[in-house]
Structure formats: C-alpha cells, structure tokens
Amino acid sequence: MAEDFVIEMLHITKVFPGIKANDDITLQLRRGEIHALLGENGAGKSTLMSVLFGLYQPEQGVIKKNGEEVRVRDPNDANRLGIGMVHQHFKLVECFSVLDNIILGVEDTHYGFLQKAEARKKVVALSEKYGLRVDPDALVSDISVGMQQRVEILKMLYRDNDILIFDEPTAVLTPQEIEELMEIMRGFKKEGKSILFITHKLNEIMAVADRCTVLRKGRYMGTVDIADTTKEELSRLMVGHDVRFAVEKKPQVPGEAVLDVQHLVVPSRVHKKDAVRDVSFSVRRGEIVCVAGIEGNGQSELIFGLTGLEKPASGSVSLLGKDVTNARIRDRSKLGMSHIPEDRHKHGLVLDFSLEDNLVLQRYWQPEFQNRGFIKRGEVRTYAERLIDQYDVRSGQGPVTVARSMSGGNQQKAIIAREVDKDPNLLIAVQPTRGLDVGAIEYIHKQIVAERDQGKAVLLVSLELDEVMNLSDRILVMYEGEIVGEFDPKKTTVEELGLYMAGAKKQGEAKA
Ligand SMILES: Nc1ncnc2c1ncn2[C@@H]1O[C@H](COP(=O)(O)OP(=O)(O)OP(=O)(O)O)[C@@H](O)[C@H]1O
Ligand SMILES: [Mg+2]
C-alpha cells in the first residue's frame, strides 16, 4: 500500500531575483507526524513553507493533498485545505485585541452583526483545551512574545486547521515555554494533526520530531528518521562538515571598567512597577559579562536604559568614565558602544533600505563614506562587500538586496557584522544567536570571544543557559528587576543558576 501522505510537495522550484530559493525540493508529510525542516540560514525553509501556505507561487512543481493535486493560490486557499502557519516574524495587528486578531478574516456575522460572544466562547474553549493561556481582551502590543505566539497558534485552531506549519517558533521562547510548546505539539499529533516544524535547535528535533527533511542552499539533501540519527549526523547533512558545539576560550585578566552602572532604575512601559530596580554593576576590558534570567525580568529594559532607547528614572550609566546616562544614541555610538538589539526588525534594521545602507547606518556621516553631505556610494559598496563576505551574509542580490527580503538568520548576521566591525569599546549583545544555524552560531561565538581577547568589554544577554555557561566570564542573574546573584561559570551549575532565576534564592548583598 502507498504511504499515507497528507501533504506532498513535489519538485518545487521558486526563484527570486538573483537566487533559486527552492531548487527541485520534495517534501512528503505523513498524517499525524511531526516533521522537522532543517537547513542553514537562507537554505529556503521559510520560502518552501510560504509556497505551501499560498504566499508564493512556485515556478515549478506540484502540491498534493491526500494524493490529489491542489492549487494554493493564496492563504485563503490554504485555509480551505486545512493548512495554517505560524510565521517566523509574527503577523498580528498590534493595535487589535487578542480576540480580534484571532477572528480577523473569518468573522461570523448574523444579519450583519459580528457574533463576538460566540467567537469568544470558542477561543476560550480552545485555549483551555490546549493549555494556550491568553487574555482575549489584551492588546497585542502589550503582551509578551510568548503570548503572541499562542495567539498565532489559536488562529490556526480557530480555523480548524489540521496541517500546522511552525516557522522557527522556539527562537523567541524561553526554555520553559519551549517545553510547553513541544508538549502542545505532541498533543496535536495525538489528535491526528500533522505538523511541519522549522528549528535550528537539534535538541528540539531529537526530542519531538518523527522525521526530518534537510535543505542546503535551496536543494533537497534527504529525509531521515529521527530514531536512526544523531545530532552530529543532522548537522553534517545540513552544512556539509562537522560542527563544534563547545567554544574554546583562553583565560583572560580583565582590565579597567568600560561600562559602569550605578543604582539604575528604569521604568516599565506596561506595568506601574519599575522594570529595573537599583541595579549596579560594571563590565571591564577583556571580559564577557552575561545577564541571565527568565524572559521578562527586566533584562530588556536594562538594555534599553543602557543604550538610550529608554530614559532611566534615576541612577547613572558611564562609558569609559564619561557620564552617558542621558546622552544621545549617536553620541553613545561615537564613544564606542555597539548594540545588537533584541528585536532585529524594530531596532536593528531599516527593512526597506538595502543591505549596504543598513551596514553603514551608524557611520554614513563619517568622512570615509561622506563628502559635503553626499554619500560616497563606491566606498559604501566596497565596505558592504567586505562585510558580506567576511560574515557570510547570504542574499539574492548582495549589497543592493532589500533587507526585508533577506532570511531571518541573514538579517541577524548583517546586524552582527555592522556592530562588531565598528570596533567598539563595549559590545552589548542581546540574544545574538537567536535564529542562527549551528554553523553561524559557532562563528558568532568565536567573534565574541575574539572581541574579548582584543580587550573589548562585552555585555551579553541570553536566555539560553548553554550559551551563558559557554561564553561568559561572569554571570549576573536578574530576577524581578534586580540582580540577585553573581557567579563564576566555572564554579556554578545550570541547576544553581536556575534556582536564582526562578527567585528561589538570592545572594546577601549582590553587587558586581
Ligand atoms: N520575498 C523575497 N524576495 C527576494 N528574495 C527572497 C524573498 N524571500 C526569500 N528570499 C531569498 O531566498 C533565500 C531563502 O530564504 P528563506 O527565507 O526561505 O531562508 P530560510 O531557510 O528560512 O532561512 P532562515 O533560517 O535564516 O530563516 C534567501 O537567500 C533570501 O534572501
Ligand atoms: Mg526562515
């Protein structure tokens, strides 16, 4: 008997200017399986899923559902076929409530009146059934990314979809939320729903997937059964060579303080309570200090306060002895502060600018790139080409590619290239490897350690304890807006950090 495939994508080819994003790719999804899709940044994963969801029309290839050829002209077609998608960068309407976002486009009306009470009942029932905690009346702009994602999942369930596409859902989640999401996916599978799951984290694939299809540079490399494979084999299939998971780091003696923070208080944008409460610490030359904590404990606001994105309520920030508490962002940058922001779309890139213009955002006014108000396009081009080459930033058209069209991981690599190449005194990196493939993570970790070895001060914020333990020279744990402990990674364990992160323990007078 033929295999029971609910969806088949056969010989799919999708071309963008300058690049074959999908080159003769075949993917067969069994009914009731969790099927992982793995590949380097820019390998064509999101493109392939967008073809299935009707956002792109392929140049070649066919899609079959239950063995019959179907046309997916747009997401409404996809919906009718039971296909739903949670996008890599969410597509919610920020000024709408959770409930309005969920029903948007499929509103039930009765004599022209919106049947909101019915809709609310269904949403509440679904959220209880699957443990997807949301507040139906909250505005999307006020809720955490974790909750935004639950809204996206509820959107699919509300439409009774049974083929669910998750494009890098775990990249924005905390370890606890990742566990919850994997449990939810297992629940969907038990009910016979079929899942396509994109992730760069091999542990997650090993933990939940039944099979995994691997892409490399737009091409199909094969499909493997998870039961008969290893992480090493998957990464080899993906990048074509072995990947090292641990970082090598020489001991280093820190020098003078570069960043000094005293009694900093930063207000919260959503709550009445301050997000950062009386935080003091410093970061010296030649050390990587990592702020660890569960998402939402003031780490984001701490960085907003340090980088000038939010005005502190009190306290001081100084950079190489200069008070920059209220300095303009450009002045901080001139004093040698670099910032790899948490939200790459909001604070990292101008999405409608070209890649090359994004790479000179913080220095186009320098004489190197500008003469009497005119940009030296040739210099910008040469500079961009060097960074693109050095950091392996992949895109369809090189320097002139519009940033918006680049794959998520390559957008991230572009920001890192710009911020590290500025030759900063202080590098502030928030979740720098979020959404990067294992090969790119290895490269970026090496770059961060190289910065430290050259005597730069590095302040890293990461939710991933592996990254924290691997990279940092000193760890500060934040809990409810305060630093509750300081640790030497060589003398602590993930378990001990976990206790402090959860608020179960606190050091006497935790000062750094
Ligand atoms: N709308 C578009 N216009 C032009 N080029 C595009 C467009 N969408 C994707 N591309 C290009 O197609 C290639 C594949 O991109 P895609 O987003 O599918 O990668 P991905 O595997 O999802 O990567 P990542 O892991 O970084 O998210 C990239 O080189 C990208 O620049
Ligand atoms: Mg993608």
The string of pLDDT tens digits covering residues 249-260 is 888 889 999 999
Centre of ligand 2 from the C-alpha of residue 98, in Å = 25
* In the chain, domain spans: 5-239, 246-336+424-507, 349-417
CATH superfamily ID and name for 246-336+424-507: P-loop containing nucleotide triphosphate hydrolases (3.40.50.300)
Sign of CA dihedral 16, 172, 96, 51: positive
Q: What is the mean pLDDT of residues 49-66?
A: 97
Q: Which residues lie below 8 Å from residue 287, measured CB to CB, with a gap of 6+? A: 252, 254, 452, 457, 458, 473, 474
Centre of ligand 1 from the C-alpha of residue 271, in Å = 37
Q: Is the CB of 409 under 6 A from ligand 1?
A: yes
Centre of ligand 1 from the C-alpha of residue 92, in Å = 21
Q: Is the CB of 47 under 6 A from ligand 1?
A: yes
Pocket test for ligand 1, best of 50, 406, 437 (most atoms within 8 A of CB): 406
Architecture of domain 5-239: 3-Layer(aba) Sandwich (3.40)
Q: Is the CB of 396 under 6 A from ligand 1?
A: yes
Q: Which ligand is nearest to the CA of 413?
A: 1
Question: Which range is least confidently modeled, 62-66, 384-388, 404-408?
Answer: 404-408
Confidence of residue 1 (pLDDT cuts 50, 70, 90): low
Q: Is the CB of 43 under 6 A from ligand 1?
A: yes
pLDDT at 463: 85
pLDDT at 337: 97
**Equal fold, 5-239 vs 246-336+424-507:** yes
Centre of ligand 1 from the C-alpha of residue 306, in Å = 33
Nearest to 160 by CA among 98, 83, 266: 83
Query: For atom 17 of ligand 1, which residue has the closest CA?
Result: 407
Confidence of residue 91 (pLDDT cuts 50, 70, 90): confident
Centre of ligand 1 from the C-alpha of residue 239, in Å = 17
Q: Is the CB of 19 under 6 A from ligand 1?
A: yes
Counted residue by residue, the chain has a size of: 512
Q: Where are the alpha helices (DSSP H) in 362-493?
A: 377-390, 408-421, 438-453, 465-471
Centre of ligand 2 from the C-alpha of residue 199, in Å = 9
Pocket test for ligand 1, best of 12, 23, 46, 216 (most atoms within 8 A of CB): 46
Residues lining ion ligand 2 (Cβ < 5 A) are 46, 88, 407-408
Query: For atom 22 of ligand 1, which residue has the closest CA?
Result: 46
Q: What is the mean pLDDT of residues 90-103?
A: 90
Question: Which range is least confidently modeled, 17-21, 169-173, 357-361, 474-478?
Answer: 169-173
What is the H or E stretch that residue 239 is in? Answer: helix 231-239
Centre of ligand 2 from the C-alpha of residue 442, in Å = 19
Task: Say if residue 404's pLDDT is above 90.
Answer: yes
What tens digit of pLDDT does each residue of 160-212 get?
999 999 999 988 777 778 888 999 999 999 999 999 999 999 999 999 999 99
Query: For atom 3 of ligand 1, which residue has the closest CA?
Result: 405
Confidence of residue 512 (pLDDT cuts 50, 70, 90): very low
Average pLDDT, the chain: 92
Atom of ligand 1 nearest to the CA of 88: 27
Atom of ligand 1 nearest to the CA of 45: 21
What tens digit of pLDDT does each residue of 481-502 get?
999 999 999 999 988 998 899 8
Q: Is the CB of 44 under 6 A from ligand 1?
A: yes
Q: What is the mean pLDDT of residues 388-410?
A: 94
Task: For residue 423, give the 3-state DSSP assignment.
Answer: coil
C-alpha–C-alpha distance, residues 88 and 102, integer Å: 17
Q: Residue 314: what residue type?
A: S
Contact 171, 178 (CB under 8 A): no
pLDDT at 443: 86
- What interhelical angle do 377-390 and 408-421 show, nearest 10? 110
Concatenate the DSSP letters of all residues of 155-181 into one string. Answer: HHHHTT--EEEEESGGGGS-HHHHHHH
User: pLDDT > 90: what percent of the chain?
Assistant: 74
pTM of the model: 0.86
Question: Which range is least confidently modeled, 141-145, 207-211, 241-245?
Answer: 241-245
pLDDT at 133: 87
Confidence of residue 2 (pLDDT cuts 50, 70, 90): low
How many helices and strands in the chain, by DSSP H and E? Answer: 16, 24
Q: What is the mean pLDDT of residues 345-358?
A: 94
Q: How far, in whole angstroms, is CA 262 from its chain's centroid? A: 30
What 8-state DSSP symbol labels residue 228? Answer: G
Q: Is the CB of 441 under 6 A from ligand 1?
A: no
Token look-up 């750094």 returns: 512
Q: Is the CB of 394 under 6 A from ligand 1?
A: yes
Q: Is the CB of 213 under 6 A from ligand 1?
A: no
